[in-house]
């Protein structure tokens, strides 16, 4: 049965409050990195999509801040195909090499894109710039209804043909009906909790400080991952001749580190990282985030699916979080497109489609979550007996072709059954 189109235009236009019995093909709760990207991927298919956002028009979600996002090649390909990369107003930084080392351990690993016939492994984009590019691309959507600012309250009825959700805006509570509900509302997903989906959670007891840093040597395309007992200190080559710094500290030291002045913070980060990028000269505003792994026990429920951080939030070591979440979104969009190619009135929330989604995402999800967690635990373990093993691992990364190929494939976003848009190089 075809789904009725919304009776009014998307939010931001005059008279833009949709009727209270609106029915959508898909409703996405969460307008952050992954939710907005999915809305764009679905809208280009001609689907009637509702996007529930907590922030009002003209305001970006909090996630679009000074964080530095490392886009794998597969992610760059997909976002270019979706018309998002072209909307970036600030230059992105190319990742041409990845340098891996650990303080106190022998050896280092170096991955060079040129060895694999590539000019780069991916690009570094500031989250704020990415948010503005997504917003510009969303503004071009014609079959997207944006509910903002709107709060998700809970679930209502679910039937064989649709699911109802309760939301609230300045005018009060209403119901939205959809063939498929998508939870893209982050690590502490209210949708996931309301669906009754449990999680496995692990606290790494680390605080991750994020900042923009200027060094005496400008970025040369090398991304550095310097590992230590308290977690990684990473430098990403931004496009503005600065580095994006991620500096992990023990949670118990977080308040003291946050209280440091600029010189004190730079000295601490310099000691943890070393001098490969020269002297740290200045840094921008700092923010701190807890490193916690949260993995949902399952990613689907009747007429509902979890994507991005709502499905799995992983340690940022290796910079795989957003890339993994985007592949969630694009796989879902691809399955819906395939279904509609067979039947234009096809059901986006059919159980068979959700089963196919689970099957296609299993390998990529399990391997990426396992790799991130294992690397975070192993490299932060100070046990002396692990030092020779880690040094051997760094030697393998540097010299053993099979080890390099495994890491390179993951770094470029090619794990498991990759969505077609990720494989199309349109840069």
| Residue 216 placed within a domain | yes
**Residue tagged 């303080």 (tokens):** 103
Residue 393's pLDDT is 54
d(CA 388, CA 399): 16
| Residue 168 placed within a domain | no
H helices present in 239-350, as ranges: 254-258, 262-273, 321-342
Average pLDDT over residues 126-151: 94
| Residue 113 placed within a domain | yes
d(CA 36, CA 185): 11
| Residue 214 placed within a domain | yes
Q: How does residue 321 score in pLDDT terms, banded at 50, 70 and 90?
A: confident
d(CA 131, CA 34): 11
**Residue tagged 């001749």 (tokens):** 241
Residue 388 has pLDDT above 50, yes or no: no
| Residue 409 placed within a domain | no
Residue 405's pLDDT is 66
Residue 16 has pLDDT above 50, yes or no: no
Structural domain containing residue 284: 69-124+203-292
Percent of the chain at pLDDT > 90 equals 64
Percent of the chain at pLDDT > 70 equals 85
Whether the link from the prior residue into 149 is cis, omega within 30° of 0, is yes
| Residue 180 placed within a domain | no
Residue 389's pLDDT is 52
Q: What digits encode the pLDDT tens for the residues 235-287?
A: 999 999 999 999 999 999 999 999 999 999 999 999 999 998 999 999 999 99
Residue 13 has pLDDT above 50, yes or no: no
| Residue 324 placed within a domain | no
Residue 23's pLDDT is 82
Number of domains in the chain: 1
Q: What digits encode the pLDDT tens for the residues 325-378?
A: 999 999 999 999 998 888 777 889 999 999 999 999 999 999 888 878 877 766
What is the domain-level CATH number for residue 215? 3.30.9.10
| Residue 118 placed within a domain | yes
Model-level pTM? Answer: 0.88
């Amino acid at each position: 049965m075809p789904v009725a189109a919304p009776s009014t235009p998307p939010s931001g236009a005059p008279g833009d409050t949709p009727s209270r019995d609106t029915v959508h093909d898909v409703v996405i709760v969460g307008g952050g990195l992954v939710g907005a990207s999915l809305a764009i991927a679905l809208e280009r298919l001609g689907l009637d999509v509702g996007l529930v956002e907590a922030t009002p028009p003209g305001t970006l979600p909090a996630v679009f801040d000074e964080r530095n996002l490392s886009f794998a090649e597969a992610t760059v390909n997909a976002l270019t195909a979706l018309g998002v990369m072209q909307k970036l107003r600030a230059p992105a930084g190319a990742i041409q090499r990845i340098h891996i080392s650990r303080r106190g351990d022998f050896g280092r690993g170096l991955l060079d894109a040129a060895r694999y016939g590539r000019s780069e492994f991916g690009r570094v984009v500031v989250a704020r710039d990415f948010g503005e590019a997504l917003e510009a691309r969303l503004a071009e959507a014609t079959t997207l209804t944006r509910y903002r600012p709107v709060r998700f309250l809970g679930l209502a009825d679910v039937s064989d043909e649709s699911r109802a959700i309760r939301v609230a805006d300045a005018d009060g509570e209403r119901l939205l009906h959809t063939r498929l509900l998508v939870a893209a509302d982050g690590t502490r997903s209210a949708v996931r909790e309301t669906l009754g989906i449990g999680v496995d959670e692990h606290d790494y007891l680390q605080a991750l400080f994020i900042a923009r840093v200027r060094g005496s040597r400008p970025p040369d395309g090398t991304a550095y991952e310097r590992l230590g007992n308290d977690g990684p200190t990473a430098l990403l080559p931004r496009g503005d001749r600065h580095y994006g710094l991620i500096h992990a500290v023990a949670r118990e030291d977080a308040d003291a580190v946050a209280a440091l002045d600029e010189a004190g913070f730079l000295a601490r980060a310099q000691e943890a990282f070393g001098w490969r990028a020269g002297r740290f000269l200045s840094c921008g505003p700092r923010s701190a985030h807890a490193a916690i792994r949260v993995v949902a026990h399952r990613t689907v429920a009747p007429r509902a699916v979890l994507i991005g951080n709502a499905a799995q939030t992983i340690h940022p070591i290796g910079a795989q979080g957003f890339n993994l979440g985007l592949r969630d979104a694009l796989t879902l969009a691809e399955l819906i497109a395939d279904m509609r190619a067979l039947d234009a009135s096809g059901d986006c929330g059919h159980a068979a489609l959700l089963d196919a989604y689970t099957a296609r995402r299993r390998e990529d999800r399990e391997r990426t979550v396992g790799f991130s967690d294992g690397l975070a635990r192993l490299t932060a373990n100070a046990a002396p007996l692990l030092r020779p093993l880690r040094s051997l691992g760094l030697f393998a990364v540097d010299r053993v072709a099979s080890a390099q190929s495994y890491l390179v494939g993951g770094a470029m976003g090619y794990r498991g059954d990759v969505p077609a848009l990720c494989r199309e190089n349109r840069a």
